Amino acid sequence: MSQASSTWILAAQCPSRLGTVDVVTRFLKENRCYITEQQSFDDRLSERFFIRTEFRPLDDDFSAETFQAAFAERADEFAMAFELTPPGRRVPVVIMVSKADHCLNDLLYRYRTGQLPIEIRAIVSNHPDLAPLAEWHDIPYHHFPITPETKAEQEAQVWEVIESSGVELVILARYMQVLSSDLCTKLSGRAINIHHSLLPGFKGAKPYHQAYDKGVKLVGATAHYINDDLDEGPIITQGVEPVGHADYPEDLVAKGRDIECLTLARAVALHVERRVFLHARRTVVFDR
């Protein structure tokens, strides 16, 4: 985890123009804030500028409200949208799962040990299988079965949990249902999905067995924001693992599970640390 647990984070973006870095760094200096980390990127194709800064106030009477009001006046000149995140903030989330438990287990462990600055307020599933796991962690578990005929009703129940929990992020930790266009729109920019990435692409049942039959040499996973195009939302991060002729289908499945866990956890960490900027159908990611 970055030192963001002890520093403030200022994340901003605006049209490209002279002085974009200066407006941030000069303001921080004038307000006695020491920069501990800074990354920026200027997209010359879209003429859009992105910046993320971690800083530590040197004065004990630092006020977030005063800081934001004063910086807003400077940022307005650059049409700069910004977000200020306080130290140690834990982002409230809901996790959605089906039957596979590997990604959920990994997230729960990282949550319990403090590796991920999140607060899991609920787990939602279309199956009852993982309720004991949620109960052991003392997290509310909502079982909402789904059929083609009850999809709209089920998603209304899911949305009620998301809304009533006051969460900022939804994590689809191997939730094996296609979300409706309506729910995808509601969760735009605040729902992360994980799925396997195999080349060539294999769809349908048992993709790792299909990959074995074709003799693939790499298995991987992709974490992305959801949108209305199935598994084609803006990518946050990807992972890959080599496999060889001695790896059998069950070995590919095991390696796939591991890389899915790591890739999803990394994407969640990048998101909650304000390192990801949505940029049309792409992302700008300031890695750790």
- Catalytically active residues are 231
Angle subtended at Cα 136 by Cα 174 and Cα 268, rounded to the nearest 5 degrees? 40
Q: Which two tokens stand for residue 161?
A: 């949990």
Query: Please, what sign has the CA dihedral across residues 174, 213, 203, 236?
Result: positive
DSSP conformation letters of 167-234: -SEEEESS--SPPPHHHHHHTTTSEEEEEEEESS---SS-HHHHHHHHT-SEEEEEEEE--SSTT-SP
DSSP 8-state class, residue 3: G
Find, among 3, 90, 14, the residue nearest to 55 by Cα. 3
Find, among 214, 209, 236, the residue nearest to 224 by Cα. 236
Q: Which two tokens stand for residue 80?
A: 């700069």
